[in-house]
Amino acid sequence: MSYDKHILWACTAALVTGWVLTKDDGHCSGTVTKHSCNWTCMHLTLQWPGSFCIGINNKTICKIPQTVQYWTIHGLWPIRTGHCCDCWPIYHSHLEEIEPELAKLWPSFIKGKHFFYFWKDEWIKHGTCAGCVETMGSPFLYFQAAVKLRKLFDIDNILESSGIKTSCEVSYKLDDIRGVLTPVLGQTYDLQCVTDSKGREAWIQLKIHLFRNQTLGCPKQEQEQKFDLLAWSNSTGHPCPKNSTIFYVPINYENPHEPCN
């Protein structure tokens, strides 16, 4: 076994068993820190492309591909894990088998950011934390799990069949949307909004609470991670308010930052 392969094996084994070796000059050193693998819940976070660019303060970097017409994956996030591991690498070849599905269901809306680099960021930040669970114990298994969950929770069809459609004129009460989602998702999920230039609340994200075995119903935990659309974009996202109506805006490919103006 080569030195690099030995290092990769050691790092992976350390993570799965609950310990992480720290990285030193591209390799893992002998220093160990406790890995937070005792997490209980995770969020399958789905995002609505029609509202995505509203929440990006830098209006020059956001673009919605013409092929995107449905809710997409933002991430699959174990909750309250802290930092997990820098030394569990992911390569493009790991995802080639499911890349067509990932490109469709987990695209990047940032200009110049290749889809793989978005996936890589998600793996390093969240996937390495999920990797201590056998069913998500590799880059392939982690992303495959997210794709399967996205297909299971077909939000587009659920909304469409219940009469909740995209519009710049018609808005919905929070309770009306929850009335459609709760029979499918249970009580433990969050709706998140952004405010457009006209002061309208636009629905942008749906966070579905799951147990680590990927089943519904994991209760909301105290001091969960604050809503952060994209940390580096200075987004102004927030929980959808109860005291005002919510717009489910259409995708505007020509003017995605102001889809209803």
Q: What is the pLDDT of residues 146-168, one digit of tens each?
A: 999 999 999 999 999 999 999 99
3-state helix, strand, coil in the chain (%, to 5): 35, 20, 45
Which has the higher per-residue pLDDT, 203 or 261? 203
**Binning pLDDT at 50, 70 and 90, where does residue 80 land?**
confident
Token representation of residue 46: 């789905």
* Mean predicted lDDT score pLDDT of the chain: 84
Task: Record the tokens describing residue 31, joined without a space.
Answer: 């220093």
Res 72: pLDDT = 98
CA dihedral of 82, 85, 86, 88, whole degrees rounded to 10: -150
Q: How far apart are CA 88 and CA 100, in angstroms?
A: 23
User: What's the DSSP call for residue 139?
Assistant: H
What is the Cα–Cα distance from 4 to 20, expressed in whole angstroms? 17
What was the pLDDT predicted at 221?
67
Tell me how far apart the alpha carbons of residues 251 and 48 are, in angstroms, rounded to a whole number: 9
**How crowded is the C-beta side of 50, counted as CA atoms within 13 Å?**
20
**With contact defined as beta carbons under 8 Å apart, do 31 and 47 qualify?**
no
Res 26 pLDDT > 60: no
Burial class (CB in 10 A: 0-12, 13-18, 19+), 70: middle
Q: Is the pLDDT of residue 96 over 50?
A: yes
Which has the higher per-residue pLDDT, 43 or 34? Answer: 43
| Dist. CA 174–CA 8, nearest whole Å | 47
Record the tokens describing residue 149, joined without a space: 């969950």
At 70 the pLDDT is 96
What span, in angstroms and rounded, lies between the C-alpha atoms of 197 and 15? 45
77/190 Cα distance (integer angstroms): 14
Distance CA 56, CA 122 (A): 18
% of the chain at pLDDT higher than 70:
80
Above 90 in pLDDT, residue 81?
A: no
H or E segment to which residue 105 belongs: helix 99-105
**Averaged pLDDT for residues 6-20:** 43
Query: Which DSSP helix (H) or strand (E) runs through 30?
Result: strand 27-34
